[in-house]
């Protein structure tokens, strides 16, 4: 029984992040949202078979949806296996949803998925960020800062 609890706690610590989002956007606010998934999708997420390429969030009839996130089909799934790319509903409170909708309309910001992880209760959560797109010169500054940081770490070793 202890071994089983240890394995589950290790799986809960695993997270998959969207590194491109931090390169493409200035993230202003972060929110943690639940996500509506099928059983085989959860198993694929535990295996780490998720891709954020072309994933974004949008509002439809007052609900927040995650579109374009790829979750690979589960290898041991049967005919009940899920479709790899489809819209998935995100779960937030009404107050958070209304704040996000207002921010998207007023400031021209974008909602981007930042990471997907399992919390301590083994529930899959998605961290979404309210971000503003970077210009080309901002991206160059990010690359320069990353390179100088890497060189400093090399010299310190």
**What tens digit of pLDDT does each residue of 57-92 get?**
989 888 999 998 888 887 777 667 777 777 889 999
**What tens digit of pLDDT does each residue of 1-51 get?**
333 333 334 444 478 888 888 888 889 899 999 999 877 888 888 888 888
Q: For the stretch 5-42, what's the b/e string if a residue is b when 16 or more beta carbons lie within 10 angstroms of its beta carbon? A: eeeeeeebeeeeebeebbebbebeeebebebebbebbb
In this prediction the pTM is 0.76
Q: Which CATH number fits domain 2-131: 2.40.280.10, 3.30.499.10, 3.40.640.10, 3.20.20.70?
A: 2.40.280.10
Task: State mean pLDDT over 111-119.
Answer: 91
Residue 137 has pLDDT above 50, yes or no: yes
Half-sphere exposure of 4 (CA within 13 A, CB side): 1
CA distance 13 to 6: 11
């Amino acid at each position: 029984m202890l071994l089983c609890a240890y394995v589950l706690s290790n799986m809960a610590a695993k997270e998959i992040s969207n590194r491109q989002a931090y390169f493409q956007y200035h993230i202003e606010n972060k929110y943690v949202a639940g996500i509506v998934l099928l059983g085989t999708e959860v198993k694929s997420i535990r295996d780490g078979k998720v891709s954020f390429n072309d994933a974004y969030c949008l509002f439809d009839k007052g609900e927040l949806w995650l579109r374009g996130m790829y979750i690979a089909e589960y290898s041991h799934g049967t005919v009940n296996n899920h479709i790899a790319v489809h819209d998935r509903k995100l779960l937030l409170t009404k107050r958070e949803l209304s704040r996000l909708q207002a921010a998207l309309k007023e400031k021209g910001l974008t909602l981007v998925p930042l990471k997907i992880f399992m919390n301590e209760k083994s529930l899959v959560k998605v961290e979404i960020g309210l971000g503003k797109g970077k210009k080309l010169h901002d991206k160059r500054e990010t690359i320069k800062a990353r390179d100088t940081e890497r060189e400093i770490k090399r010299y310190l070793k």
